[in-house]
Amino acid sequence: MKKIFVSDLQNFVGQHVESEFAVLKKTVRRKRDGAPYLEIVLKDVTGEISAIAFDNFNALNQKIAPGKVLRIKGLVEKFNERIRLKFREAVEQQQFDITDYVPKTPRDIDQMFDELLRLADRVTEPHLKDLLMMFFGDPEFSEKFKLAPAAKKYHHNYIGGLLEHTLNMTKFALGASNIHPRVNRDILITGGLLHDIGKIKEFVWFPKIDYSDEGRLFGHIVLGFKMAEEKIRLIDGFPEVLAMHILHIIVSHHGQLEWGSPAVPMTLEAQILHFADNADAKIWMFDRAIEEHPRDEYGGRWTQYHKGLSRFIFLGEPEETKEEELPF
């Protein structure tokens, strides 16, 4: 059966449909006679929709919970000028494609991860190589790293975003090492690949991208520092100074105290990685703004104001549209 997405439902008003949706929120409400009924918010990658169930309250209330994917049969209707779904049946789905519900990187995740492993393989210092393999050789960690977003909102905020951003910024930093021979490439690569590992704990990405409890309480810098420190302690003879280099990169990669870094970069490699981290995020934001933001009303040479970048972006001359040829 072909999946019907939330964005498709406007074409089915007055019709019964059957499709799968993720539950974002559940609320128990009361009818005028005091009887309970369910109001839930359903979502997929195209949007959200309200759904109500006036009947079968006990059975539905037991099986419906935020984070579950349900196959729902219901009637699409308009209520107060908005589309909603009225349903009586819901069946939980154990197997589903997460990218039907959360946006995904346009790049191939497995190919990017293979490229990341090739970067890790370039590290020759044995302790750093062991450290990288303790993370990226761990199937559970690797699976989370492949899926995690890099942010909730501002950059690479989709499935595979963390992997994409990590790969981009590490390659960006390596470009600087080609110009500046004093850079220790083993430290640079290791720090680049590990700088955001805390984000696999900072975020949840289903049914939507949001902060986890520990993400809100501690943030990815503290979480990443702790994760790296714990692994370092498991590696016999890990040099103390080398450990400080890697841990310093994790705590300083935001670059400034007011941007959330506990320390500013104090090593050459940390400074380069901060620049690379910031550059990749900002380039992504520029690129997405150019692609998605409508041109302004003043000749179409600018995007509308971008809050994340705190600026307008100049687009140049708008593409000229060809006049349609008349048929006579």
Helices H / strands E in the chain, number of each: 10, 7
Tell me the residue range of the domain where 256 lies: 102-288
Which of 67, 99, 131 finishes a domain? 99
Give the integer Cα–Cα distance in Å for 102 and 117.
Answer: 26
Which of 99, 122, 150 finishes a domain? 99
- For the chain, how big is the Rg over CA atoms in Å? 24
Residues 36, 136, single domain; the answer is: no
Residues 131, 64, single domain; the answer is: no
Number of structural domains (the chain) is 2
Per-residue pLDDT at 111: 98
Residues 47, 11, single domain; the answer is: yes
Contacting residues for 150 by C-beta, under 8 A, at least 6 apart: 156, 157, 161, 162, 164, 165, 166, 196, 199, 281
Asked whether 253 and 274 are in contact (CB, 8 A), the reply is yes
Per-residue pLDDT at 255: 81
- Classify each residue of 62-93 as buried b or exposed e, where b means 16 or more C-beta atoms within 10 Å of its C-beta: eebeeebbbebebebbeeeeebbbbbeebeee
Per-residue pLDDT at 295: 66
Residues 202, 73, single domain; the answer is: no
Residue with tokens 């109001």: 39
Domain membership flag for residue 300: no
Residues 138, 186, single domain; the answer is: yes
What are the pLDDT digits (tens) for 38-58? 999 999 999 999 999 999 999
Residues 10, 133, single domain; the answer is: no
Give the integer Cα–Cα distance in Å for 121 and 64.
Answer: 46
Residues 226, 254, single domain; the answer is: yes
Which of 99, 117, 150 finishes a domain? 99
Query: In CATH, what number is assigned to the domain containing residue 248?
Result: 1.10.3210
Per-residue pLDDT at 182: 95
Per-residue pLDDT at 321: 46
Domain membership flag for residue 139: yes
Per-residue pLDDT at 303: 86
Per-residue pLDDT at 322: 40
Domain membership flag for residue 69: yes
Task: Provide the greatest CA pair distance for the chain.
Answer: 85
Residues 269, 123, single domain; the answer is: yes
Query: For the residues of 153-176, what is the DSSP string, one character each?
Result: SSSS-SBTHHHHHHHHHHHHHHHH
Per-residue pLDDT at 299: 62
Residues 34, 106, single domain; the answer is: no
Query: In CATH, what number is assigned to the domain containing residue 49?
Result: 2.40.50.140
CA atoms within 13 A on the CB side of 40: 27
What's the token pair of residue 282?
């900002």
Give the integer Cα–Cα distance in Å for 253 and 251.
Answer: 6
Residues 214, 94, single domain; the answer is: no
Residues 123, 190, single domain; the answer is: yes
What are the pLDDT digits (tens) for 190-219? 999 999 999 999 999 999 999 999 999 999
Domain membership flag for residue 283: yes
Helix or strand run (H / E) with residue 110: helix 109-121
Domain membership flag for residue 293: no
Asked whether 37 and 54 are in contact (CB, 8 A), the reply is yes
Give the integer Cα–Cα distance in Å for 50 and 18.
Answer: 15
What residues of the chain score a pLDDT lower than 70? 1, 294-299, 318-328
Give the integer Cα–Cα distance in Å for 225 and 243.
Answer: 11
Give the integer Cα–Cα distance in Å for 35 and 14.
Answer: 26
Cα dihedral across residues 219, 224, 225, 226: positive or negative: positive
Residues 196, 162, single domain; the answer is: yes
Domain membership flag for residue 17: yes
Domain membership flag for residue 210: yes
Per-residue pLDDT at 256: 82
Domain membership flag for residue 327: no
